A and B are shown apart, each in its own frame.
Chain A
Amino acid sequence: MSSPEARLKLLHISKRYPSVVANDDISLSVMPGEIHAILGENGAGKSTLMKIIYGAVKADSGEMLWDGRQVNVSNPAQARRLGIGMVFQHFSLFETLSVVENIALVLDEAFDLAALAVRVKEVSERYGLPLDPHRLVHSLSVGERQRVEIVRCLLQDPKLLILDEPTSVLTPQAVQKLFETLRRLASEGVSILYISHKLHEIQSLCDSATIMRGGKVTGTAIPRDETPASLARMMIGRELPVCVAPPYHGPVHPVLQVERLSLASDDPFGTSLKDISLTVNAGEIVGIAGISGNGQAELLAALSGETTVDREAVWLAGEAVGHLDAGRRRDRGLVFVPEERLGRGAVPALSLARNALLTGHRQGMKRWGLVAFDKAQAFAEQCIARFDVRCGGPGAAARSLSGGNLQKFIVGREIMLAPKLMIVAQPTWGVDVGASAFLRQTLLDLSRSGVAILVISEELEELFEISDRIAVLAAGRLSAPQARELADAESVGLQMAGLFTDTDAEVSHAPA
């Protein structure tokens, strides 16, 4: 029996870092046209393995076969020449260059920028990933930056495409569209390595799966033959935790009121906010869905006070606070977890204790203008213990923590400030499955203690899991929030794409 040659075969790959074994004796093979899932939690070693394939990291031992021949990929340029394309989870884009210039940089051939811009536009539209080739990357949101990465891979006609959690920033419709694209690519013979921890995506898309945990392969499976529960067990070694939303019986009164907030963006590529109204009551979580770049950054800054607006546009516990800066709004019971953890939510070079002081100084950490560093230290220690932050203690620099652990620290710090209103952007971005469930449950419990919570997220599943009401922010407009029981992923997804069903629907295409 002659079986066709595998496109990619890995044999006994191992990679050790000083403190951790990232990959321990990993073997897998991918056939031409196969969509192969790599399933595992953050820290399971998926990204390291993919970087080894892509030549960005060198394995300590093991072999790699490409179309049956042994290859030694020593750098990404060589990987690209073989036909390996990779969309990284963390982007490698130059902020001061435009989209098309960034794409031109990784092409290993001569290029004509104008012609390339046209191609970029074509490809991006064909795959439902709209991009303006001439925008500067620094003005793009996280979601839009990922689009650039995907499009730049597709331009290189890859034979093997590696996608590292590509759907976290896409609408359900766009996910379906991407899946169609990936299936088409597969039918054309392109092999796809699809990294994810989303079980239903893997079940609907992938032909086979390799499951990793703690740097080892813990199983291989045909996803369609498995149940989510059985996949989850292989992935996290236990049952997938489920969030529970207990009913709220406390007093219901509005804590955050946004009234006809309009805001022109300073950034020429930013999104202006148009006539946004919203109420968040004590004891509930309101979720705002939408793809970043649709006014999320502007809305968050206007709510947190980093941008001040008209006095009467934002109300906090019955007081007009639109004109107050972030510090004064925090004095009145607002806390905020931003999307950017390093550099905004925390100062990278400072210790966790000093980062506790950043917003925690209101908790009796200062007296006569002098700081009580022992109190900041105790606060940080308590936060680390209560929210299971894995780190070297309160003296560890914020930048030494992994993204998920720093997020736990920041969320924990803000919760410990005993807020009336909590605003959270992307609560579980980059946080592993177990910790995500913990954070979501923490938010639910906090809301049931009478705190009003506003969550802005690109992850629809997450919003449906924790929100009492869901609204959609698209192109700077906010839809009317719907109770979760009445909302469905389909209609929310349509709204995310900018198709409001109410007043904004553009139905009049005047026939000639």
Chain B
Amino acid sequence: MNLNQIMTDLSYFIPEMMLTGILLLVILFDLFQKADTSIRSGYVALGGLILVTIALLGQDVSTSVGIFSNMLAVDPFGNFLKILVTVGTILVMWMSFNSNELKNRRVGEYYTLLLTLVLGMYFLVSATHLLSIYISLEMVSIMSYLLSGYLKEQMRSNEASIKYVVFGAFSSGILLYGFSLLYGLTGSADIFEIQAALSAGTVSPALMMIILVMILVGFGYKIAAVPFHFWTPDVYEGAPAPITAFLSVAPKAAGFAIIIRFFNVALSSAGNPNMEAWAALSNMDWQAVMGILAILSMTVGNVIALQQSNIKRMLAYSSIAHAGYMLLGVVVADQTGIAAVLYYAAVYMLMNLGAFFVAIHIKNEFDTEEIEDYKALGYKAPVLGVIMAIFMFSLTGLPPTGGFVAKFYIFRALIEYGDMYFWLAMIGLINGVVSLYYYMRVVKAMYFGKIELPDTVHHAPVNITILLSVLAIPLLFAWMLGDPLSTFAQNAVQFFIK
């Protein structure tokens, strides 16, 4: 690797370099703010992220390349997820400006940490080396610990953050031990060479099984799949609400990205990824393991969500269930399956952020997070009520919302993949029915039951109404076939392969 090579590689690295520059700029800018509680550095961060999004959209990824000695890959798959997490972060920042929890405190470092987390996710979605996977995973995790404990004088926030850090450090340690064994058995830390060594068939399947279980602990914790989900409800309830919304969407998408890339590139058969994923693991039924994780996540998430009365906690368990639906697409792991997961991640981002944002606004205005207190909200705040109902319908997966289309793609991929997988789709469908109950409880509280009509009608501020409409309107039109998002997702299923 010579200097010229590095210069060429850097030309593929422009969005990341821009983001790093903006990050430093925000730190400097914050130093020169007179008022301690000024949120102007947040506006700088927001503007910077919009520029980075434009750079990402304009980036030419038609030829996938590996950069920095195959540490990172620049390919359509990574590009799609980078855009996804950046858009998610922009929306979360928008809501952070309106959050009461973050008012009157120094927020300069809040936005700095958030941007660092985004940078970590950029590396995570394009990592192709055990070292870069581990470093980027830690970068995302450490920033998440800090952000979830951001309200440090609040007992709940501290508790969320200590639970997060204990579970996180433990599972990343296990992941690392798995990586070290994988490195020893295959003789390389580069996932392309690992793939070559695995398809040569010299590695003992039993050892490989143990290693993959260890690796799955680390990855499963990042996407909050059962049985690695114990931190989720407490962290989601205790963290500042905008961060909860963020954690349930962006790092989860990045976690899915690394799972898909790792299993699809490192463990596929030689030179033929996407077609015969899992081929290097022919001696064991790895797909069944993923399928069981998916079933457990969906069922446990949905059943426990039924009993929750706090809306943030209910959404936390429902996010576990949604990780299960997305894992169904990972089980398929072919072109349609991965496109379905990407589409699901994008739609899930819109509807879940939306639901959290309504909850944040209601907490700001009415000071409650209990679902019971949403009573008559549909009459007290008509616009908010309708928008919340759209998010709830979409999270359930009722037609004609985006949530329905996303679930449809996942189930279609499963059924097309083989008759054996029909029962997995059926379990997913039954889980959808279970989730109907708790999502509709919110709608019921808002519109039905004994209701005294309020005297005054609450109107949300214009910028919040715009933000929520930006999230809700695409969900209503997702059923149109060939919508741009699904085309985008289908084109994004291309990995860099050495």
A and B assemble together: no
**A residues lining the B interface (CB < 8 Å):** none
